[in-house]
Structure 1
Amino acid sequence: MKMRVGIDARPLSRQLSGIGYYTLHLVKELSKAGVETVLFSPSPLTVDLSGLDRCSIVCKSFKRLATRQIWSEFFLPFLLKKFDLDVFWGPAHRLPFWLPHNVAGVVTIHDVIWKRYPETMRKSTRLLETAFMPGSVQRADLVIADSRSTAADLLEFFGLADSKIRIVPLAPRLSETGGRQSGPLLPGRKYFLFVGTREPRKNLSSLIEAFGTLSEAARREFSLIIAGGDGWGNVSPAEKVAELGLQDCITVKQFLSEAELVEYYKQAYCLVMPSLYEGYGLPILEAQSFGVPVITSNVSSMPEVAGEGAVLVDPHSVESILVGLEKLIVDEALREDLSLKARENAGKYSWAKTAELTASSFEEAISLKNGNAHDINY
C-alpha cells in the first residue's frame, strides 16, 4: 500500500537521545522500504537525511521550548493541511490537538514513567507528559507501544481498548563495525558496564553500593564502568563513588562516542541495568548483540526485553543486586551460557522488522480512519 506519512521530527532537532535514535532508524528504514515521508520540525534537524529517497523536510527556526510547543499545537496542524498526508505519526508521545480530520493519527508511547514513578522525573517533563499524553492516546487511531509492559500500562492508566494498541519492539542500534581500538580497555581487569543517562530511576546509587559490598578480592579482579550523559535530579555517581572510597574500582565516563561505546560493550564482562522502571531498556539489547550477558531488574519491560540472556534482580534491594553480581563472578559456565542466549535473543530483533510492523500499523490506522478496518495478524 502506497502512503505518505507525516512525522513529528522534533526528536531529530536536538542532540539525539533514545527516542531520537528510534526516530532516526525508522525514518531511514521506512525510506528503504519505499514509504514516502514528510518530516516536520519547529527547528532545523541535527542529522543529515539528504541521502534518503522520498523524504521531505519542513523546518522552522524556533528554539525555545515554549515556542516549539506552540508551533506543534497551533502551527503544525495548519502545515499538515498543505500536504496530502495519509497518516501522521508522533514518535515521542505527542499528536497535535487539531490533527486534520482526514489524516489518520498514530502515536508511539515508549513509557509512562510519569504515572509509575513521577518522583524520578524532571518536573517540567512530568507536566508536559501529564498535559499532552492522555489526549494524544485518545485521539490516535492506533497507539504503538515498545513492549508488552508499556502496553499493559496504557490499558491500566488510560483505559484504552486492547485492540487499539500495537506492540512494536525496538532493535539494537550499534554494530561490530561501529569502531575499533587496540588492546583491552582495562588491561588485566574485567569490568561490569552500566550504560544510560544519569537520573534517579536508573538506580545508580544502589548499583554502586552493591558493587562496593563485593569482596576485596572481587574488586581487585573486577571493575565497574558507568557510562552515560548527565540527566537530572543531581545524580552524581562520581560523588557516591568518592563517598564510599571506591575510586580504585569504579570509573565514571562522562561521554563516549559511538565507536568508543561499541568497544566498551564488546569487552564488557556483563552489562548491569538495575533500573526502577524502563519502557524498553535498549542498552540490554545493545549489549546482548555483542554476546554480553545482562544483569537487570525483574520489573516493567526489562525481563521481557532481556529474554533468557540475563540474571534478574530486585532493583529495590542492594542485596539482590549484589547476589546477581556474585553469580556472574563465581560461575563462568553460567556467564558463557547467558552469553550464547544473549546473542540469540538480540538476533530476533532488527530495525527492518520494527519498520515493517510500524508501516503495517500506519496502513491499519489509515483503513480505520477511512472506515475500512481489516484484520491484520501480528
Structure 2
Amino acid sequence: MYIKKISLKNFRNYEFLETEFSPNINVFIGKNAQGKTNLLESFFVLALARSHRTSDDKDLIKWGQDFARINARIEKNTNSEKLELIISKAGKKAKANNLEQKKLSNYVGNLNIVLFAPEDLNLIKGNPTQRRRFLDMEIGQISRSYLSNFSQFKKILRQRNNYLKQLQKKVTKDKIYLDVLTDQIAAFGTEIIVERKKFLKKLEIYMQSMHTKLTEDKESLKILYKTNSFDASLDDKEKIYNDLKNNYHKNYDKEIRAGTTMLGPQRDDIAFLINKRDVSDFGSQGQQRTVILSMKLAEVELIKDVIGDYPVLLLDDVLSELDENRQTQLLKAIEDNIQTFITTTSIDGVNKEIVKNPQIYNVDGGRIIKSREENN
C-alpha cells in the first residue's frame, strides 16, 4: 500500500497542505522545527487515530484554530481508499470512503504504518510503559479484536480502581461487586495477553531472521514476556484466565491497601535476549540498536504476512543515528518494496548508492516544495 495524496488543514504548523507522493522513496529535507516530523506524525495519526508524540489531541491542532483535518488517498493491492480524520475539542471523527466510523477500532487498520524514530532506540532501555505502548499500537493495527478488548479492559480497569479506592477508604465494605469486576478484568485481560503472546511469537521469528543477517549469524535472539500476573509459560487461554483470576483473588487485601489494580497486562513487560542475556542489562549500545533495527524490519514483514500488503515506512531523522552497516541493511530491505518517507536535514544523509531516484521535498515553515526526483 502507499499514500498517493494527502491534504492537511490546521495540523500542527500546517495551515494548509495538499501534495502527492511517490510510491517508492520520498525524502523531506529541511532545518529543524520546520515541519518534517509534523508531516510524518500526520501519517501516523491518520493510520492509528493517535499520535506517537503526545497524548493530548489538542497539541495536534494549529494554535488558535478549532480543529485539524487530515485527508488522504490510499492505494492498495486490491483497491483505493479515501481516509479522513477530524480532530477537535469534541473528540475525533473518522471516515473511510466517506462513511463515518462510529468506533475508532473499526477505522484503525485501513492504513498500516511502521515508524522508526530516534526515540525508538531507547525502547530497550526505556521503561515498561514504552514497550507496552509499542505492543498495543502494533497489534492494534492488524487486529480490531485487540483494540476492542483493550478498550473494554481500560474501561473496567478504571471502574475497578475506583472501587478499590472506595474499599481502601472504607466508603464501602462490599466485595461482591469487586468479584464481578475481577471476573470481567480477568476475561478481557486474558484476551489481551493471548494476542500479545501470539504477536510476539510471530515477531520473534521475523526478528531472528533479520538479526541473523545483521550479525552474520553471531548472535541468537529471543523475546521474553515478563509478568507477575500469571504463569508466563502458559499459552492456553483458559489456563491463563484461571491463573490470572486466582492471583487477583489472592491479592485482594494488597490491592485494597494500595487502592489500585496491581496485576494484569497493564503491568506486564517484554525483554529481548541476546545469547540468553537481557540486552537491556548486558548489551552494548550497538547490540541494542541492532535489536531495534531487527524489530522494525520484522514489523514490516509481519504486517505484510498478516494483511497481504506492505505497510508504509516512516524514517524520522533516524538514518544519522545508524552506522553505515546498519543504514545499508535498512535501506536494502526497503528497496523497491515499500513506500518510505525519510526526514533529514541534508540529502547527504541518504545513501545514494542504495536509494534510487528518491522524490525530494524541501520543507520550510509548514510549506513543502516538491523539487525533483534525485537521479543517481
TM-score by length of structure 1 reads 0.27
More strand by share: 2
Greater relative contact order structure (CA < 8 Å, 6+ sep) = 2
TM-score by length of structure 2 reads 0.27
